[in-house]
Structure 1
Amino acid sequence: MRQLAIVNRVGDNDDVDIENIKENLRHLKNVCEQTALPVSVEAITRELYGFANRSSMMSRIVRESLETIHSTVENELATILFLRVSTEYIRYHKDPAPFGQRVADAFPLAIRDIEHGTKALTYGLGTSCVFHMMRVMEMGLKVLAKKLGIPYAPSWESYITQIETKITAKHKTKGIKWKRDEPFFRDVLGSTGREDSMEKPNYAYSPSLRSG
């Protein structure tokens, strides 16, 4: 601590101006609160109380107070593991809706897995990220299947097979609404086998898909 080094340069019985020291301690207390260091916060609060209504104190007393704070903060920090998040991933860690607010509003049940998946990505936990993203995809797949009138299926493969069956049905058997929505459904499934007579997908349009 810089303030401790300054105090060490004066005699034990000399008075030192503590206004600047108190200001720095208040700043340090705020940092400790943000870093969740309750023991250090308590130690700083206690020493600040001792400095209250004083503009100067004997350097020996100030030194003892600062040494107490220094050792307390140092010891408490030793009990905590700090993980560094790469700059390129910070936005994923902080963003409450990394897939956009429209997705969060339409799929509220997926919010928790989206959050955990993106945070797993920031920590380099690829397998965990994929696990949560697969759960998110499953929710979307179920909503898509429901939109197509497909009943519950026990697996992704079963859902996808039934969805593809719907999509590959003869074009003339499909109603007007289906023909309007079909490009979107094909695009969601990543299908490239569009019929020449089929209209191109309009990316600005999507049927109302929501979970819950």
Structure 2
Amino acid sequence: MFSFSAGHFLKAFNFVGATVGMLQRSLGEFAPEIQRMQLKQLRDDVQYFGDICESMTAPIAFSHARSALVVLDALLDGGQDPVKIEGFNHVMLKTHLEHALIAKDELADQILLAVPSATRQLYLQDDPAFGAKVAANFPKAAAEIEGASKCMALKLPTAAVFHLMRVMEVALVAVYQCLGLPVPLTGNDRNWGVILNNRIRPAIEAKGRGWAEKDNFQEYAALLSEVKDAWRNVTMHFERTYTQDEAARVFDATRGFMQRIADRMDESGNPRA
């Protein structure tokens, strides 16, 4: 999915439109002058505008934006300040910028999805959604965490919960390996109930009462069991959907659990218990 800043796009569009107006008013009367700094800004905006037109399949606007860049580059290579736009350059720049604005017609049938500023960070994820330590210790969960975050930003709550369940599966395997359980997780052994009740809990009990980490691992098992019973089992059936608020609670709970477990181990279960 292609994404861009609506504010930046509108600014570029308006600047290009204002320049077209200035060139139109001066056509045949005088050669307008523009500061190099402003001309560079126009070039950057036309470049940005053209890139969006290309990504959003607006070929006519993109072609004219590219041609306008050729004229702007030639003007900027002149070296003078202010830059005088005259003759052939004046006509060609006006023509190409004017036709680039046809993007509003080429894009008319496209559907744009807006991400509110309140959930912008969930979509862009400039910083790891679950924190740096989870990102470092659980790279296998990165794509699912990203998917859950973007689904939350786009208000797709049930899809977000599906991603979060896959994140918890990575945590489940980590706990399994941390306890030194050697049996590969294949076939029915991948069932959460089997893993928790037939593998993890017996392994915790086998460590004995004096094991310093027993309480922590019992808590891990209890939280994983709650996830299985409350979320995963019903999420796997079509009749269960989630509201945005419900998915937000699952998201926060999963993030908290992953941050907790990342303080103890990585996705391979290291260091071993």
User: Do they superpose with TM above 0.5?
Assistant: yes
Match of 1:186 in 2: 218
Deviates more, 1:89-98 or 1:6-15: 6-15
- Partners of 2:263 and 2:27 lie apart in 1 by 78
> How far apart in 1 are the matches of 2:200 and 2:98?
66
Q: How does 1:158-173 map to 2 (within 5 A)?
A: 158-162=194-198, 165-166=201-202
Aligned positions of 1:1-212 closer than 5 A: 1-10=17-26, 12-19=28-35, 22-32=39-49, 35=52, 37=54, 39=63, 41-51=65-75, 52-53=77-78, 55-58=83-86, 62=90, 64-75=92-103, 78-79=106-107, 81-95=111-125, 96-150=127-181, 151=183, 152=185, 153-162=189-198, 165-166=201-202, 174-177=208-211, 180-188=212-220, 189-190=222-223, 208-212=264-268
SS at match of 2:32: strand
Identity %: 17
Q: 1:34 to 1:42 in 2, by over 3 A?
A: closer
Deviations 1:115-135 (A, max 9, x none): 122122212222322222111
Contact 1:12 1:60 in 2 (8 A): no
Runs of 5+ in structure 2 lacking a partner? 1-16, 55-61, 227-258, 269-273
CA displacement, residues 169-205 of structure 1 (integer Å, 9 cap, x when unaligned): 59xx81422xx2122123222389xxxxxxxxxx989
TM-score (normalised: structure 1): 0.72
Corresponding residue of 2:5: none
Query: Would the aligned equivalents of 2:71 and 2:92 in 1 still touch at CA under 8 Å?
Result: no
Separation of aligned partners in 2, 1:161 and 1:36: 55
SS at match of 1:211: coil
**Contact 1:143–1:210, Cα closer than 8 Å, also in 2:** yes
Which structure shows the bigger proportion of residues in helix conformation?
2
Whether the 8 Å contact between 2:72 and 2:93 is mirrored in structure 1 is no
After the TM superposition, which of the residue ranges 62-71 and 129-138 deviates more from structure 2? 62-71
Distance 1:136 1:206 in 2: 12
Q: Which runs of 5+ in 1 are unaligned?
A: 193-202
Q: Looking at CA atoms only, which structure, 1 or 2, has the larger radius of gyration?
A: 1
Q: How many residues align?
A: 198
* Separation (CA, whole Å) in 1 of partners of 2:213 and 2:53: 51
- Structure 1 residue 35: Cα displacement: 4.1
